[in-house]
Structure 1
Amino acid sequence: MSERDFSDHVVVVTGASGGVGAAAAEELARRGASVVLAARRAGPLGEVAKRCGDQAHAVVADVTKRNDVQRIFDEAVAKFGRVDIWINNVGRGIGRPLLEITDDDVDEMIRDNMKSVLYGMQVVTPHFQARGTGAIVNVSSLLGRTPLPPRAAYSAAKAAMMSLSEAFRIELSGSHPNIRVVVVYPGRIATEFGQNALGQRMFDSGKLPAEVLAVLGGATQTAEEVAHVLCDAALSGRGDVYTQPNAFARVREYMEKQPG
């Protein structure tokens, strides 16, 4: 099946210096988009921008800071005249049992996984409202749907981000039905994400409930595989998008088995 073209689309991608963000930026550029890439690491970000070609603009920024997010938007408009799609891809994990979670852990999870997304939505939406169209794509995780020890704080932050996104989708549907709010749910991805998580304790899959293992049972995907689904969702998706086949069915089955 042929890929849909992104020509005449200006797309902002945060967390674009590696992993899924870098893979998405490169696919978007290959499919004709003008891309604005944002991340904290100037060196890796510049390398990704080079691979994306002449229609790429890199912005070194920390999206956990509202002023930096505003600067990303301002530079995108100055460079390309508008923004059509904004992809919130920044996040951070944690591996810590619930009884060991600290106040700082919670603050960092909310800052990195929820507030970074909130800032992106708040900065770009007035622009979309003025134009009457646009798409916000927030990258979540299956763990936002199915909490997993010892990832409880990460799961909670992703669930909070999911709730923000769903509430905003409803809020916009009446007044601005052509502004899409999409949430993408990857499962396990072969990237360095886990190496950058707070704490180093990995879960013992042999001790997890069978229903949790069933939800996570999809094959580990590459960053490129996830990015392909993400790009398609950015162009035309609505609502929730799962990157693994049958993931939604697994999540629904998990929820149906919960007590209460």
Structure 2
Amino acid sequence: MSLNKVIIIIGASSGIGAGLARYISNDAKNQLKKIGLVLVARRENELNQAANNAKNDYCSTLVIPADVTKRENVEKIFQETKLKFNKISCWVNNVGLGISRSVLDLTDDDIDIMIRVNVKTALYGMQIIIPYFRQQGYGHLINISSILGRVPYTTFRSMYSASKATLNSLTTNLRMELQAEPCCEKIHVTTILPGMVATDFAMNVIGDSVPKSLTDYKIPFIGPFPRTSQTIDDVCKIICDVINNEHPPREVYTNPEHKPLIKQYFENVGNFELLLKPPS
């Protein structure tokens, strides 16, 4: 079967990953385009359910249960996908773990796990797929980050924000390296920065989903800033549009409510931080 695209989604067992698989397959059916969809996560049962939800005559799926915090498993995903579909068009890094901890309460283990899950998993994917895209002559890498990696306004997510800021920086540096190479003009790298999305993310963080007593942490919540939660479908539509774009954007903020927030932050960081000060 000749496929228009082969798309790998890392972190596809639930949330944005599972939703994206379903949305992409429906989009392929509507456009009468055949695709290969590779779904990766640790939980095999949930992956199989996500694959069933994405199943139609225009979508061929491959389920790969894997712990992507181990580099050799990411290499295995790459090899198994090539063996099955003979090409890779798009690689989506969508692994994320949250934590509720103030800066002064962070432990070594907290920092290690945030970097391992939120940074290294994506780094392994980048280091494995980009050389292949170079050889192939085209490809699209998408890293799912967070608005908190750009504007850290929810302070009890301190290390989560820091890990996503690291991911943002690595992605930007990769993009600039590639644009300096004439042979890489058809290789695209996109950072997706959602805000709050209606998933189980907050229920799976290290520590309480929200600190029970914010005053105990001596830190504010999110002040007068957007608290609107987007649906999974809203975010997945935006990501799917990015995948379909022949000239995809470099960065995408999924929630339009964040535009004034970002502008305000970068215009005057000091004034922005004063807005976070708890009322006296």
**TM-score > 0.5, shorter chain as reference:** yes
Q: In the alignment, is the contact (CA less than 8 A) between 2:155 and 2:220 conserved in 1?
A: no
Report the counterpart of residue 42 of structure 1 in structure 2: 44
Paired residue for 2:10, among 14, 24, 31? 14
Report the counterpart of residue 184 of structure 1 in structure 2: 192
Q: Give the fraction of aligned pairs with identical amino acids, expressed as a percent.
A: 37
Q: In the alignment, is the contact (CA less than 8 A) between 2:24 and 2:240 conserved in 1?
A: yes
Q: In the alignment, is residue 241 of structure 1 matched against residue 252 of structure 2?
A: yes
SS in 2 for 1:259: helix
* Counterparts of 1:10 and 1:72, CA distance in 2: 13
SS in 1 for 2:270: coil
Q: Deviations over 1:187-215 (max 9, x none)?
A: 101110111111115155993464xx43x
Q: Which amino acid in the other structure matches residue 170 of structure 1?
A: M
Report the counterpart of residue 140 of structure 2 in structure 1: 135
Q: In the alignment, is the contact (CA less than 8 A) between 1:29 and 1:56 conserved in 2?
A: no
Q: In the alignment, is residue 61 of structure 1 matched against residue 57 of structure 2?
A: no
Change in Cα spacing, 1:246 to 1:202, as seen in structure 2 (3 Å) is: closer
Q: Which amino acid in the other structure matches residue 224 of structure 1?
A: D
Q: In the alignment, is residue 196 of structure 1 matched against residue 204 of structure 2?
A: yes
Report the counterpart of residue 207 of structure 1 in structure 2: 220
Q: In the alignment, is residue 250 of structure 1 matched against residue 254 of structure 2?
A: no
Change in Cα spacing, 1:35 to 1:95, as seen in structure 2 (3 Å) is: same
Structure of larger gyration radius: 2
Residue 174 of structure 1 deviates from its aligned partner by 1.9
Number of matched pairs: 250
* Counterparts of 1:116 and 1:234, CA distance in 2: 21
Q: In the alignment, is residue 155 of structure 1 matched against residue 161 of structure 2?
A: yes
Report the counterpart of residue 231 of structure 1 in structure 2: 240
Q: In the alignment, is the contact (CA less than 8 A) between 1:25 and 1:52 conserved in 2?
A: yes
SS in 2 for 1:224: helix
Q: Deviations over 1:73-110 (max 9, x none)?
A: 11111111110000000010001121111000000000
* Counterparts of 2:44 and 2:222, CA distance in 1: 42
* Counterparts of 1:137 and 1:249, CA distance in 2: 24
Paired residue for 1:169, among 175, 199, 202? 175
SS in 1 for 2:143: strand
* TM-score in terms of structure 1 length: 0.91
Report the counterpart of residue 78 of structure 1 in structure 2: 83
Residue 249 of structure 1 deviates from its aligned partner by 3.5
Q: Which amino acid in the other structure matches residue 49 of structure 1?
A: A
Q: In the alignment, is the contact (CA less than 8 A) between 1:77 and 1:83 conserved in 2?
A: yes
Report the counterpart of residue 104 of structure 1 in structure 2: 109
SS in 1 for 2:142: strand
Higher mean Cα deviation, 57-66 or 196-205?
A: 196-205
Residue 255 of structure 1 deviates from its aligned partner by 2.2
* Counterparts of 1:11 and 1:112, CA distance in 2: 21
Report the counterpart of residue 122 of structure 1 in structure 2: 127
Aligned-pair RMSD on alpha carbons? 1.8
Q: Which amino acid in the other structure matches residue 14 of structure 2?
A: G
Q: In the alignment, is the contact (CA less than 8 A) between 2:203 and 2:209 conserved in 1?
A: no
* Counterparts of 1:158 and 1:207, CA distance in 2: 20
* Counterparts of 2:48 and 2:268, CA distance in 1: 47
Q: Which amino acid in the other structure matches residue 131 of structure 1?
A: Q
Higher mean Cα deviation, 123-132 or 158-167?
A: 123-132
Q: Which amino acid in the other structure matches residue 239 of structure 2?
A: L
* Counterparts of 1:251 and 1:142, CA distance in 2: 9
SS in 1 for 2:180: helix
* Counterparts of 1:69 and 1:45, CA distance in 2: 16
Structure 2 unaligned blocks of 5 or more: 29-34, 272-280
Report the counterpart of residue 52 of structure 1 in structure 2: 54
